[in-house]
Chain A
Amino acid sequence: MTRHHTINAVISVLLGAALLAAVCFAILQALSWNWSGVWAYREVFWRGWLNTIWISAAALVLSVLLGLLAALGRRAPYPALRWLATGYVELIRGTPLLVQLLILFYVVADAVGLQNRYTAGIVILAVFSGAYIAEMIRAGIESIGKSQLESARAIGLTRWQTYRHVIFPQAIRHVMPPLAGQAASIIKDSSLLSILGISEFTLAAQQVNSATYSTLESYLPLAIGYLALTLPVSILARYLEHKFRYET
């Protein structure tokens, strides 16, 4: 027992010392930080940040549409549609976004003559995110009990009427919270579009970095800028989760 305590105490002291050292190091670093170089480029940061916002927003809207189509496709009465939708979802969820960006941008977008890199970037991001949203919507639809679908059949509703009057109004409660979470993911994932030369927030920070040779001073605002977007979205997701849990 006492031996245990000694070990714990030693570990605590070591951890405390390490933390203290880190803080001292950061302060020393901060003293030598040079913000003036970066401050001169604040316009670049600002424009990149705004670009990230509208690129993410556009990708979110498009990916909800794609996700909805894919979710309905997976439940369609036609096998060909089901395979197509399943293939899309599994292919996208099984490969990294970076790989999709490279292939879709340099091979597919090129082949179909999609010249505008912003449009291409938004479409690729939406294709990626749509596969995840499709699964969220599918889970939402499947949360509707079988007995309700039976009821809908018994009163003579068509497939479309069943979606409209019974499934969608209830599924939306289940889909909203994870969808808000996915919005935060899109914002973060959009940083990868920098490799395509799309001047969003991350590329802006990289440009400032290479112009001023200041690493931390360029990338710290980058992290804070993303947090400023994702934190409110996460709080919204938390709120929606709470709200819909108690309202049924």
Chain B
Amino acid sequence: MRLELQHLTKRYGDHTVIDDITATLDFPHVLALLGPSGGGKSTLLRLIGGLESPEAGSITVDHEPVPASGKSLRAYRGNIGTVFQSWNLFPHLDALANIMLPLTAVHGRTPDEARSRAEELLERLHLQGHGHKRPAELSGGQRQRVAIARAVAIRPKLLLFDEPTSALDPEMTAEVLEVIADLKSEGRTFILVTHAMNFARTVADQIAFLADGRMAEHGPAGEFFAAPETESARRFLAKVLRY
């Protein structure tokens, strides 16, 4: 997959979160966005997902520009699977209904098709027997796996993970990372924002390092972790990998 950013800029009021980023990123399957908090990783992910619109510049995904507004933007969002930090499931719907909703409401599947797809995914994510539970009755790790099932169910061309394990304890983190690693071996393409450095090292093909709203460097994961080019990346890695 090829992700191209052209003079991409995003501001919130006076605060420039993404500061004129121009970059071309090629990755076979997995791109990880790393960097210190407040560096612009999540904002970049949201811009790629069409959930925010930039003040200036453009994004293309496999040579197709991310639409700016209207129906085409909604259709674009509908074909991308997004998983948020705090799962964001609908609390009034059970796990099955949460997975089925985008299939029936956005992708025109019949309820029967949607149900069998949802059941298949629940089983694959080791959630059989939990289909009729509401989010409040599930553990954090189970919720996040349901959220992943909802994102995967639509067969998205691209999956986005925004710190998918930040709100989870270590055991649940392991559950969820395992599922994400499985997605890679199934050949899915995704972009991941994470603070789990060791996970990024094993799962990512390509790393983009963001600090202060700029893309300080990007390159193959092996090279980045072995020998970061920039001082800020070196300092960041030294800090997070020390313990």
List chain A positions with a Cβ less than 8 A from chain B.
147-148, 150-151, 153-158, 161, 165-166, 169-170, 248
Contacts and interface: CB of A to CB of B under 8 A. Distances in A.
Pick from A165, A169, A248 the residue with the most CB of B within 10 Å: A165
B106 interface: yes
A151 B105 contact: no
B218 interface: no
Contacts of A155: 77-78, 82, 101-102, 106, 150, 154
B49 interface: yes
A248 B136 contact: yes
A121 to B, nearest CB: 38
10 contacts: A147-B88, A150-B88, A154-B51, A154-B77, A154-B84, A155-B78, A155-B106, A156-B74, A157-B106, A165-B101
Contacts of B90: 148, 151, 165-166
A156 B75 contact: yes
Given A156-B79, A158-B74, A169-B92, 8 more contacts: A153-B77, A154-B51, A154-B80, A155-B77, A155-B101, A157-B106, A161-B105, A248-B91
Contacts of B79: 156
A151 B77 contact: no
Contacts of A156: 74-75, 77-79, 102, 106
A150 B88 CA distance: 8
Leading 9 A-B pairs by shortest Cβ distance: A156-B78, A151-B88, A155-B102, A154-B82, A156-B106, A156-B77, A147-B88, A170-B92, A169-B92
Nearest to B105: A161
Interface in B221-240: none
Interface of B: 49, 51, 74-75, 77-80, 82, 84, 86, 88-92, 101-102, 105-106, 136, 150, 154
Contacts of B86: 147
A35 B33 CA distance: 85
Contacts of A165: 90, 101, 105
Nearest to A154: B82
Contacts of A150: 51, 84, 88
Contacts of A151: 84, 88-90
A204 B150 CA distance: 61
Contacts of B77: 153-156
A41 B77 CA distance: 69
Nearest to B74: A156
A158 B74 CA distance: 8
Contacts of A169: 92
A150 B75 CA distance: 15
Pick from A150, A151, A155, A165 the residue with the most CB of B within 10 Å: A155
B46 to A, nearest CB: 9
Contacts of A147: 84, 86, 88
A142 to B, nearest CB: 16
Contacts of B136: 248
Given A151-B84, A155-B150, A161-B105, A170 B75 contact: no
Contacts of B51: 150, 153-154
Contacts of A161: 105-106
A150 to B, nearest CB: 7
A165 B97 CA distance: 10
A140 B80 CA distance: 30
A156 B70 CA distance: 11
A245 to B, nearest CB: 14
A169 B102 CA distance: 17
Given A155-B150, A156-B78, A170 B84 contact: no
Pick from B86, B101, B150 the residue with the most CB of A within 10 Å: B101
Given A154-B49, A248-B136, A170 B102 contact: no
Contacts of A158: 74
A112 to B, nearest CB: 40
Pick from B51, B84, B88, B102 the residue with the most CB of A within 10 Å: B88
Contacts of B74: 156, 158
A240 to B, nearest CB: 16
Nearest to B82: A154
Contacts of B82: 154-155
Contacts of A154: 49, 51, 77, 80, 82, 84, 88
A169 B91 CA distance: 10
A175 to B, nearest CB: 14
Nearest to A166: B90
A127 to B, nearest CB: 32
